[in-house]
Amino acid sequence: MLLIVATPVRAQIHRVSDEIRQADLEREAEIVRMVRVPMRDGVHLATEIYLPKERSGPVPAVFWRTPYNFSELAGSNPARPNARLKYALDAVRHGYAFVVQNERGKFFSEGEWEILGRPRTDGYDALTWIAEQPWSSGRVATLGCSSTAEWQMGLAAMNHPAHAAAVPMAQGAGIGRMGPYFEQGNFYRGGAIQLPMVVWLFGEQVSPRPTFPEGTSPGELERIARWFDLAARVPEVDWDAALRELPVVEMMQRHGGDPGFFAAAAQRLPDDPSWYEGGLYHDDEGFGVPALWVNSWYDLGVSPNLELFRHVRETADADVRDHQYMIVGPSAHCAMYRLTDPLIVGERDMGTVDFGFDEIVFDFLDRFVKPQSAVEAQRYDRDTPRVRYFAMGDAPESGWKTAPDWPPASRPLTLYLGSDGGANSLFGDGVLLADPAGDGSDLDRFPYDPRVPVPTRGGNFCCLGGEPEGSFDQRPVEARQDVLVYTSAPFEQAVEVAGFVEVVLYVGSDARDTDFTVKLIDVDEEGRAFNLDDAILRARYRDGFDRQVWMTDGEVYEIRLGPLSTANVFAPGHRVRIEVSSSNFPRYDRNLNTGGNNWDETEGVLAHNAVHHSARYRSRVALPVVDD
């Protein structure tokens, strides 16, 4: 059962769907505009401060740091209401100052922009400045989703004395190497480039840009900001066509974008030393503050996010380690505070999901940022679940669960791939078996032609130029002959799977290099096949992401994909399915199968790939089953 800590008096919480305007803030907050906060190198960052009008002394602060436009001239998008306004108003009503700041090189902030905005220097200096203000109690919480969250880990590694708490939501693009994951800020997965990065960078890496003469006064900048917000009008791009164009390295500049970071990163190995020189947070770093982590099953980077929580729980100092909390919901990117009832994610009905998320956030902030009595602190620590996660599915056992850690305690259910040599497509004979010993064929073969890749149909991503994310019936994809489909027998009773899912395949190819993809699927009694998670591995990285090795025709290689992540209750009559292929496009860039650079090539070759499942080569999936 989900436990929500009650406090004696709650301020009004706003939902993002509420109509919130800048005027609402102006009625309740003292607003200090266009403050130029100095960094250690002399660069000034544009900052706005919202102070509660009804305050009797210094107050703690909530810090929202962003590369995005916070000018009111940007207007509101009814389809995506303004989360900044919502949290600013909620923070003020809860007795916090709300400080919003643009990263360097963005809008009215000086300097040159780089991804994550220098969290270890600019982020640190900003916290120092906030803590020293006469209105500040000296305690600061960081809060935000996506780009407003991704820098928080780098800052938390610095142990700033004013950093009292962190609420990172959907922070995957701030994670570099984390255990088995080498995604490097969601740039890679399994060594393949995640193409959402192209779309996002096209709109964000805008240079050169208009700037103002050195010495322009804050008053003059505030006046200018009322007339100009410096928001770039980025050209519209038909991304469905643009992402098909080759070579990959030219995708940005071909449409007028700044190739800058993307072009350089596309030429690196996934474990290149360059990835450890910027703002990304890696698994050799400490973490210094209590945190409430907010993740979603259909978000980009959910697996590294979960591994990050495990990393902090295992490596941080005891006081910090014991004050890590996590929520994992069934929504898409940055949608935990945009829930509908029922919640539909792609095509899958998740039912009623709302559970008092915003109240949980401010209960957490009050516990770690405001002064509390020992009794209040002990009550929070005793009654607040360490992990709250939503187990998806149609069974009565689905819904919100709690656990003392992640992953929850489980036992492995290992299912082995098998067939009579015809697992190709939904109409083939692929099966998942509890007993690996079978009399069927030793392998399944399938072609992979990069000119006609398997199309993306939903998944765990965002920002892919209009490509819808979430859970979709995969049968249109499974009708293809270049997709291998392996399905279990129906479950006789509900089975909860929650945690990291291991997939081991034994593969071969006549190409020097190719990709292998996998999807984990819940098949209902009507045959609808809803995707839970997916992964990919570029075969050249099977021995490590810091090196490249090639395949030889006739050889068999063990590869490990993922691990995948999910929490799903397979209802009675439902089945587990695994899809295997060699592309998922435009979710990931296509392997052209040549064994060349791939990023600078324009022509691919046909690969003939195979998955082995004999007594010697036991291709399998290990599901973490949670028993009541």
Rg (the chain; Cα; Å)? 25
Q: Tokens at residue 301, please?
A: 């980077």
207 pLDDT exceeds 80?
A: no
pLDDT band, very low/low/confident/very high, at 20 (cuts 50, 70, 90): low
Question: To which H or E segment does residue 569 belong?
Answer: strand 557-570
pLDDT band, very low/low/confident/very high, at 7 (cuts 50, 70, 90): very low
Q: How far apart are the first and last CA of the chain?
A: 13
3 pLDDT exceeds 80?
A: no
User: In the chain, where are the structural domains located?
Assistant: 22-331, 411-626
259 close to 205: Cβ distance less than 8 angstroms = no
| Tens-place pLDDT, residues 344-388 | 999 999 999 988 899 999 999 999 999 999 999 999 999 999 999
**CATH number for the domain whose boundaries are 22-331:** 3.40.50.1820
| Tens-place pLDDT, residues 95-151 | 999 999 999 999 999 999 999 999 999 999 999 999 999 999 999 999 999 999 999
pLDDT band, very low/low/confident/very high, at 586 (cuts 50, 70, 90): very high
Mean pLDDT across the stretch 599-623?
Answer: 97
**CATH number for the domain whose boundaries are 411-626:** 2.60.120.260
Candidates 501, 484, 477; CA nearest to 587 is 477
| Tens-place pLDDT, residues 538-572 | 999 999 999 999 999 999 999 999 999 999 999 99
* Cα gap 189→498, rounded to integer Å: 21
pLDDT band, very low/low/confident/very high, at 6 (cuts 50, 70, 90): very low
What is the residue whose two structure tokens read 């108003």?
89
Instruction: Please compute, for residue 177, the number of CA atoms within 13 A of its CA located in the half-sphere on the CB side.
Output: 18
Angle among Cα 595, 597, 601 to the nearest 5 degrees reads 100
575 close to 546: Cβ distance less than 8 angstroms = no
pLDDT attached to residue 535: 98
Beta bridge partners, 45, equal 37
Among 208-217, 322-331, 464-473, the range scoring the smallest mean pLDDT is: 208-217
- Classify 534 as helix, strand or coil: strand
* Cα gap 429→416, rounded to integer Å: 14
